[in-house]
Amino acid sequence: MQEELILQVLPDQDKMRLDLLLTDHASHNNLGLSRTNIQKLILQGRVFLNSSPVIKPNHKVKIGQEIRVSLPEKESAGIEAEQIPLEVIYEDDDLAIINKQSGLVVHPAPGNREHTLVNALLSRFKQLSDINKNRPGIVHRLDKETSGLLVIAKNNDSHLKLSRQFAQHSIQRKYIAIVVGRTEFDEDVIELPIGRHPLKRKNMAVSFTENSKYAKTHYRTLKRGKDFSLLELRPFTGRTHQLRVHLASLGYPILGDTKYGKAGSFPRLALHAQEIGFLHPGTGKLVNFVSPLPQELRDFIKENIT
């Protein structure tokens, strides 16, 4: 059944832009509609003032006018729920924090719509955000072989508020990595743009072409062994494969990285998303979550890094 949103222009909203009024209403009522979503609805002729369609987002409204918004029916993505083991370390009405295991793909893709984290989420939770119907609940991602913390949105309002924090680079994230080689510096900042590899189209690379994107990573050396180093990584940006590409470009590929390092050197990528902190979308309070290193990483560190 098609939903309809109905409201009336109040005195303090006189002469407001239509898109701004609706965006403000959506935000205060946790409707999970961004300004871009609302502008699209207006341009599609789904917004009416006193029963007449208005197709200009900047239209100025008047006191007492009735606004009706015809919301589109939600489409089904056709993704099946699967009972895949999940470690949920925190959950409330707005979000959940998942400690993802290495080897689990985060979301379905063409030709691979099964055995992903999304399939598991659909089985585990009754409600997830559906801003992207092909990625319900997914606000950000980790590579398949990376383990660690992911925040999952249970509704669209939480999704938008979390996405905004990621876009503003205000989410605090810490990764732990084992890299091949002894790092030269105790700590440093890597600021190198990243783009598609010119030959290997499924790979990323440090690139200075016009299509590359700014990328910044801070690293700190925690320990050094004979042939390996243990690093703490804090990405400022979130480019595809950023940590892997940045470290490989310095000559310190992450242990077990078959794409940017040496194949067969370790049974998995030695990269773990250990900590994440952000403003809770429901309460506005700062929350922080920590995940212990997986046993296989702890064993390798004990044997190879003093």
143: annotated active-site residue:
yes
Encoded amino acid at 53, one letter = P
The residues near 281 (Cβ < 8 Å, ≥ 6 apart) are 94, 95, 153, 157, 158, 161, 162
In whole angstroms, give the CA distance from residue 159 to residue 165.
10
| Phi, psi at 87, each rounded to 5° | -100, 105
**Cβ 282 vs Cβ 92: under 8 Å:** yes
Distance of alpha carbon 63 from alpha carbon 8, whole angstroms: 8
Q: Which is catalytic among the residues 19, 143, 157, 257? A: 143
Where do the DSSP E strands lie in the chain? 3-8, 47-49, 52-53, 66-71, 88-91, 95-100, 147-153, 172-180, 187-191, 194-196, 204-206, 216-224, 228-235, 271-279, 286-290
Q: Indicate the Cα dihedral angle 216, 265, 187, 242, nearest 10°.
A: 0
State the amino acid at position 90 in one-letter form: Y
Active site residues per annotation? 143
